[in-house]
C-alpha cells in the first residue's frame, strides 16, 4: 500500500490483513465522502465492491459518480426498521449523529445542526438487499450509535471476517467500547487491535487473519496520506497536476457558453463550501451573477481559514500520532470537494 485515504490508517491496517486478496466485499456504515477520509476507497480501487450506508444525501449521491460498483443506500442503520431522528451538521458533517447528546456537545465547538427524520433499516436487511453472500470486513463509524447498528446484524447468517468500530465518543474522546463490546464478543468475535480511535475484531473462525495485524498501531508516517499530495492545481509534483490545470483551462474557456441554470448552480455550490473572499460585498458582481467573476472564488484562502478553525477541538489526538491532518479538517476539506477522484456514471439506490 502506497497511499492511505483514511483518517487514522484504518485502510492500511486492513490491507495488512487482506493485501494479497485481489477482490473482496466490504460493508461501510457511515461511509462519509467516497474518497477523502474513507476507509473502503483503497479497496474499491483494487477492484473490491460492497455496501455503503451513508445517511447524508449530499455525500451518498457522490458514490454513484465516483464508486458506481458499490450498492449505496442513504438511510440510518439501527436495531429495528422504522424512522429515526438524525442531527445533521452542514459544515462539519463528521459530527452528524442520531444521538442528540453528541450533537449538542459538538455544537459547543461553534457548529450548528438541524434535525431531520430518516428511514431506519437493519443491517441484516440491507446486506440481504445488496445480495452480499460473504463479507470480508464491516466498518462502523456512526458517532455513538454503534450498539444499535450491531444489534441489526444477523450474525448467524452474516459473519464479516473482520469488524472495526470507532470506539471513542465524538468530542470528548471518552472510551465507548463498553456499550457494545460485550455483545460483539458474545457473537463469536475476538479483539485484535486498538489504533487509538478504532477497535478491530476478528471472527473466531478466521483467527488466522488476526496474526497479520501488528501488536501496536503503525506509525503515522508508515505510508503517504491523501492530504500529503496537497491541491492538484497548485502542486507541480501532484500526480493529477496536469489534469487539474487542463480541467481548469477547459472550464474557463467554456464559461461564456454555460447555461444560466448551470452557472447559477455552480455559484451557489461555491458559496455553500467557501466563505466570501475578503473585500467581497453583498450585491457585488458575483452576487449579480457576472460571468467574468464567477470563477474567481478564493478557495485557497477559505481552505486556510477552515483549517485554522477546525484544529482546536481534539488537538491532543495529533500529539499522540505525530503531525497529521485533523479529522475535522480532513472532513471539511472533503465536503469542499478538495479531493482526487474521477466522475463516473452511476446512481444511488433509494432507501425504502
Q: What pLDDT tens digit does each residue of the chain (352 aa) get? A: 789 999 999 999 999 999 889 999 999 999 999 999 999 999 999 999 999 999 989 899 999 999 999 999 999 999 999 998 877 776 666 667 656 666 666 666 666 777 888 899 999 999 999 999 999 999 999 988 899 999 999 999 999 999 999 999 877 788 999 999 999 999 999 999 999 999 999 999 999 999 999 999 999 999 999 888 888 888 888 878 999 999 999 999 999 999 999 999 999 888 876 655 544 444 444 433 333 333 333 333 333 333 333 333 333 343 344 444 344 433 433 333 333 333 333 334 444 4
Rounded alpha-carbon distances, angstroms, from residue 57 to 105, 297, 308, 349:
23, 25, 27, 11
Q: Which three cell numbers stand for residue 352?
A: 425504502
Q: Which residues pair with 3 in a beta bridge?
A: 224
Strands, DSSP E only, in the chain? 3-4, 25-29, 49-53, 71-73, 76-78, 82-89, 113-122, 137-140, 162-166, 189-194, 198-203, 224-225
Among 258, 213, 235, 259, smallest CA distance to 17 is for: 213
Residue 30: predicted pLDDT: 94
CA distance 12 to 208: 18
Residue 100: predicted pLDDT: 62
Residue 292: predicted pLDDT: 35
Let me know: does 154 contact 106? Beta carbons within 8 Å. Answer: no
Residue 107: predicted pLDDT: 60
Sign of CA dihedral 192, 158, 126, 78: negative
Q: Which three cell numbers stand for residue 322?
A: 505525530
**Vertex 140: Cα angle to 136 and 142 (nearest 5):** 165
Residue 60: predicted pLDDT: 93
CA distance 29 to 142: 7
Residue 327: predicted pLDDT: 45
Residue 247: predicted pLDDT: 94
Residue 230: predicted pLDDT: 84
Q: Where do the structural domains in the chain lie, given as residue ranges?
A: 3-226, 229-335
CA distance 292 to 285: 9
Distance of CA 2 to the CA centre of its chain: 19
What radius of gyration do the chain's Cα atoms show? 21
Let me know: does 124 contact 98? Beta carbons within 8 Å. Answer: no
Which CATH entry fits the domain spanning 3-226: 3.40.50.1000, 3.20.20.70, 3.40.50.150, 3.40.630.10? 3.40.50.150
CA distance 197 to 297: 36
Residue 340: predicted pLDDT: 36
Burial bucket for residue 42 (CB in 10 Å: 0-12, 13-18, 19+): buried
Residue 94: predicted pLDDT: 63
Place of cell 464559461: 255
Among 69, 39, 60, smallest CA distance to 132 is for: 69
Let me know: does 39 contact 50? Beta carbons within 8 Å. Answer: no
Other Cβ atoms less than 10 A from the Cβ of 206: the count is 16
Residue 86: predicted pLDDT: 79
Other Cβ atoms less than 10 A from the Cβ of 70: the count is 24
Let me know: does 153 contact 112? Beta carbons within 8 Å. Answer: no
For 170, which DSSP code? T
Amino acid at each position: 500500500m502506497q497511499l492511505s485515504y483514511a483518517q487514522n490508517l484504518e485502510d492500511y491496517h486492513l490491507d495488512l490483513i487482506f493485501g494479497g486478496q485481489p477482490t473482496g466485499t466490504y460493508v461501510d456504515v457511515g461511509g462519509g465522502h467516497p474518497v477523502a477520509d474513507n476507509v473502503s476507497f483503497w479497496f474499491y480501487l483494487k477492484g473490491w465492491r460492497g455496501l455503503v450506508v451513508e445517511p447524508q444525501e449530499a455525500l451518498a449521491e457522490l458514490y454513484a459518480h465516483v464508486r458506481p460498483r458499490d450498492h449505496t443506500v442513504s438511510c440510518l442503520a439501527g436495531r429495528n426498521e422504522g424512522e429515526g431522528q438524525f442531527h445533521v451538521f452542514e459544515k462539519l458533517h463528521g459530527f452528524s449523529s442520531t444521538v442528540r447528546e453528541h450533537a449538542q456537545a459538538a455544537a459547543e465547538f461553534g457548529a450548528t445542526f438541524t434535525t431531520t427524520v430518516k428511514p431506519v433499516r437493519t443491517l441484516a436487511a440491507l446486506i440481504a438487499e445488496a445480495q452480499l453472500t460473504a463479507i470480508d470486513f464491516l466498518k462502523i463509524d456512526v458517532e455513538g450509535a454503534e450498539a444499535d447498528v450491531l444489534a441489526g446484524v444477523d450474525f448467524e447468517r452474516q459473519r464479516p471476517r473482520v469488524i472495526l468500530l470507532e470506539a471513542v465518543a465524538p468530542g470528548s474522546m471518552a472510551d465507548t467500547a463498553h456499550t457494545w463490546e460485550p455483545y460483539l464478543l458474545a457473537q463469536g468475535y475476538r479483539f485484535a487491535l486498538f489504533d487509538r480511535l478504532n477497535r478491530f475484531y476478528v471472527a473466531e473462525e478466521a483467527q488466522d487473519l488476526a496474526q497479520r495485524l501488528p501488536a501496536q498501531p503503525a506509525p503515522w508516517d508508515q505510508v503517504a496520506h491523501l492530504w500529503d499530495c496537497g491541491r492538484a492545481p497548485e502542486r507541480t509534483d501532484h500526480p493529477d497536476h496536469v489534469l487539474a490545470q487542463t480541467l481548469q483551462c477547459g472550464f474557463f474557456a467554456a464559461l461564456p457558453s454555460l447555461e444560466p441554470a448551470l452557472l447559477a448552480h455552480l455559484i451557489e455550490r461555491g458559496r455553500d463550501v467557501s466563505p466570501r473572499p475578503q473585500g467581497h460585498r453583498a450585491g457585488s458582481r458575483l452576487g449579480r451573477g457576472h460571468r467574468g467573476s464567477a470563477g474567481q472564488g478564493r478557495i485557497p484562502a477559505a481552505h486556510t481559514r477552515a483549517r485554522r478553525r477546525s484544529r482546536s477541538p481534539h488537538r491532543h489526538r495529533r500529539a499522540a500520532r505525530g503531525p497529521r491532518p485533523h479529522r475535522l479538517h480532513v472532513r471539511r476539506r472533503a465536503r469542499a470537494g478538495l479531493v482526487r477522484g474521477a466522475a463516473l456514471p452511476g446512481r444511488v439506490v433509494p432507501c425504502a
